[in-house]
Copies of this chain bind each other. A is one copy, B any other.
């Protein structure tokens, strides 16, 4: 027993060190098919543990169909469904491709992805680009002409400018931006306002040199980068994936390395328990909905942006983002209390991601499934809320089901005998 507890502590410290020593650097932005391994033209990725195509329901199913149409893999909805049924269009899980999905998390072959290299450990992660602030978005289960136009705007107008500017740099380290943004009111999941401006600052010299050949398109890219709090989320997510992946597969570690939703429920993976997803029902949610929406509309259609919480950001850094009250509800006192409580279930305090409002204490980092089961304190996650008819209808704080952690803890005890 004592021996195993020591071993677990040691393994978790190693996993924690991998998380905290990670050095995510944005190195490129390119179409998924060019860069993401095994991404065929007929591949569509979506959030959460793999499901048979027929098990996808609601907005997540609609989002997959929308992805097929956007990618011109079918001429209409009927043909898309037929091809999905026949396996001619292949549905994959984001995490299996080094990607992380925002909400429904649809990736198609032509969509550009941020390429983030973990310079400390050599692994690479990807995240696609924010569609813009219209609540009707493909990753919220909506596909129509407006969604299509915005997706095309992103890939044809916004991304090329960022790509060109980026290629003049030696890569943009994301950790310093995240560190600084935590002192500027962001928690890097549901609020990324300062991070976007700090990212802009890094890119400005290169954007200026591009402007010689006409500033209009550069202005449009800058607007896309800074007009909404979610642009940088995709960089925070890619950084999160590059960071969390470095902590995978450590024998004996009970630390969570991924959490994800699909339309069927919540799931998590543990460093010392291989690639198994421990699945459970949906999370409980405290939401603040946009005007004109009600609780009964709340709908689950996937989500992997909770990679932020996996590495000690988002809900684990809420005390850094008092202004988030306005967006997702709850008082700042509650946010601080919730944030502090999470130290009970984490392996350590982040040496880089510090919370000024907690006297520069490091964020609680590295969720230990056994500590969750023992304390019954559940992780806190800051997410956008999707509606029954698609589109974003609000934002809120969710807690995963305890049963996932219990199932993972059982498997851990079975494997490691403690």
Contact = CB atoms under 8 A, between A and B. Distances in A.
Helix, strand, loop or mixed for chain A's interface?
helix
Given A193-B184, A194-B194, A194-B197, A322 B209 contact: no
Contact of A209 (B211, B359, B360): B211
8 contacts: A183-B185, A185-B356, A201-B226, A211-B215, A212-B212, A325-B356, A332-B356, A332-B357
A370 B69 CA distance: 70
A337 B218 CA distance: 45
A194 B194 CA distance: 7
Given A197-B200, A204-B219, 12 more contacts: A183-B185, A183-B322, A183-B323, A197-B201, A200-B200, A201-B222, A204-B204, A205-B215, A211-B212, A211-B215, A323-B356, A332-B358
Residue with the highest number of chain B CB atoms closer than 10 Å, among A208, A323, A360: A208
Nearest to A223: B205
A60 B47 CA distance: 63
A331 interface: yes
A395 to B, nearest CB: 15
Contacts of A204: 200, 204, 207, 219, 222
A162 to B, nearest CB: 14
Interface residues of A, number: 33
A326 interface: yes
Contacts of A358: 332
Contacts of A356: 185, 322-323, 325-326, 332
A198 to B, nearest CB: 7
Nearest to A322: B356
A198 B215 CA distance: 20
B212 A215 contact: yes
A219 B198 CA distance: 15
Interface in A141-157: none
* Those 4 A-B pairs whose CB atoms lie nearest each other, nearest first: A322-B356, A197-B197, A183-B323, A208-B215
Nearest to A193: B184
A186 B323 CA distance: 13
A261 to B, nearest CB: 28
B325 A359 contact: yes
Contact of A185 (B194, B200, B325, B326): B194
A184 B198 CA distance: 12
Contacts of A226: 201
Contacts of A193: 183-184
B205 A219 contact: yes
A222 B205 contact: yes
A208 B203 CA distance: 12
Contacts of A207: 204, 208
A183 B331 CA distance: 15
Interface string A263-293: 0000000000000000000000000000000
Nearest to A209: B215
